[in-house]
Homo-oligomer: A and B are copies of this chain.
Amino acid sequence: MTDEPRSPEPTPIDPAVEAALVGSREARAATLLEFARIPSISTQPEHAADMVTAAEWIAARLRGVGATEVEVCETQLHPIVYGRIHEAPGAPTVLVYCHFDVQPVDPVELWETAPFEPFLRDGRFVGRGVADDKGQLVMHLSAIEALRAAGRAPAVNLTFVFEGEEEYGSESLFAWIPQNRHRLGADVAVISDTTYFEGNVPAITVGLRGIMYAQIDVELSPVDLHSGQYGGSVENPAIALARIITALKGPDGRVRIPTFYDDVVALSDADRAQMAALPFDEESFREETQVPALVGETGWTILESRTARPTLDVNGIWGGFQGDGAKTIIPAHAHAKVSTRLVADQKPGKVFEALRDYVAQVAPRGVRVTTTFIHGGEASLTPTDHPATQAAARAIRAVEGVDPVFIREGGSIPVTAAFSSVLGLPVVLAGFDQPNCNAHAPNEWLDERNFETGTRIIVRLWDELARLPRGAQ
């Protein structure tokens, strides 16, 4: 920390950059649509080539804005794109992170249009990845392009790291970061993969939940059994699985895995008061999701339950006959994807072990049950008074005309913890999507206004961060 004043006035608008952005509006939209046509689904092996295509697409764009050392780095799975624009001697260095992989598209029948034929209509981009996270990646590329068009270089030194496994646990990135520490030196990391607050209220995210994702497999027999001949004499694996799942979480919303809450950092009264002051309307939130009723953890508000408290969900369940009509079998096996959302200081590995042991303990006899770790990421929590956080707040105020609120998000960005703990960087989560953008669901969208203001905030953010003395963190 230095004696830099907390909240100086924002830097004035650069008319040449603004003119460039106004002039490039259609071209920038076309760029996002082009990028979103690439079906870069990281969790599905058949899309491995698309991951490479997306990475090469970014690398070409980086080269086009004069980035140096641009590289599509091979990893054990999907590539990472690296590049830098270090043209501000003496100024701070900013590590910029977005991801270019997207979620799978199923249930594809609920998409109103083809997921990978994105379009811009009535002020909305629609398509898989337009919000999470390709839109934000293109905002970063656009900000540089606008600076170049205005004859300027970024006022800070920028190092870009764009990854392709954010939706798959970021394993390759976790291996790559320590191996590339020598070219990742920076003063601060800026991650653009978060959202504004409900109602499109400008926000900076200071808390993210972590994740532990696992699969539970329940096996009865090598083949389905006739439910008439065997019903009543063998354990039903779907019922056994139901019994296990029921044991994992109580009707009060509390996770029943022993030791689960042991490492949770308690919310202070101040934290709770700050959250209570946020403009969060439960009924609008409920209407947006169209659920019959919100159900949180007993003793906590809905906002606390979904952002500041850990929880457990079943992400998928399957076994036996799923078609129309009837098939009179006892399924040979049944399966569930089960994940927990974690808060500071829960550790994914420890939580997985507790889950695995508990499942083994509550599993009914008569079936074979195994629990397998799929991926994990730690939660993160950043102080709101950090100079970099305050710089981002000024950039937002300059463009949006209001101070941002400081929020916690329920989602997970595992890389946040890696930047913070491995590289020792303060992390600013500056993201511009709206929270109801259908990330991970059919009909994902991005408001063009957010695409426009987000790009401008990024331009301002480089100016604001340039005012920080090096070592401000």
**Residues of A bordering B, CB below 8 Å:** 43-45, 103-104, 106-107, 110, 167-169, 209, 211, 213, 220-236, 238-239, 241-243, 245-246, 248-249, 251, 253, 285, 289-297, 302-303, 305-306, 309-332, 334-337, 339, 341, 364-368, 374-375, 409-412, 435, 438-443
Contact = CB atoms under 8 A, between A and B. Distances in A.
A127 B328 CA distance: 18
A239 B243 CA distance: 10
Contact of A243 (B223, B246, B312, B322): B246
Given A232-B306, A234-B295, A245-B239, A168 B326 contact: yes
Nearest to A367: B292
A291 B238 contact: no
A126 to B, nearest CB: 13
A234 B368 CA distance: 31
B289 A230 contact: yes
A23 to B, nearest CB: 35
A317 B314 contact: no
Contacts of A211: 228, 328
A341 to B, nearest CB: 5
A305 B236 CA distance: 14
Contacts of A334: 317
17 contacts: A103-B328, A220-B291, A225-B440, A228-B412, A230-B410, A231-B312, A232-B309, A233-B295, A233-B305, A234-B294, A235-B291, A238-B316, A239-B246, A239-B313, A239-B314, A318-B322, A327-B440
A229 B321 contact: no
Contacts of A339: 227, 326, 328
Nearest to A238: B314
A209 B239 CA distance: 21
Nearest to A110: B223
Contacts of A319: 314, 316-318
A315 B326 contact: yes
A220 B313 CA distance: 13
Contacts of A367: 291-292
B225 A289 contact: yes
A315 B327 contact: yes
Contacts of A45: 324
A248 B234 CA distance: 16
A341 B337 CA distance: 30
A294 to B, nearest CB: 5
9 shortest A-B CB distances, which residue pairs? A228-B411, A316-B320, A232-B311, A316-B321, A43-B325, A233-B306, A238-B314, A242-B245, A295-B366
Given A221-B289, A314-B239, A316-B322, A337 B330 contact: no
A82 B406 CA distance: 76
A197 to B, nearest CB: 12
A327 B323 contact: no
Contact of A295 (B168, B235, B325, B329): B235
Contacts of A293: 235, 365-366
A223 B313 contact: no
Given A221-B291, A295-B233, A411-B229, A321 B337 contact: yes
A373 B472 CA distance: 67
Interface core residue of A209, A246, A368 (most chain B CB under 10 Å): A246
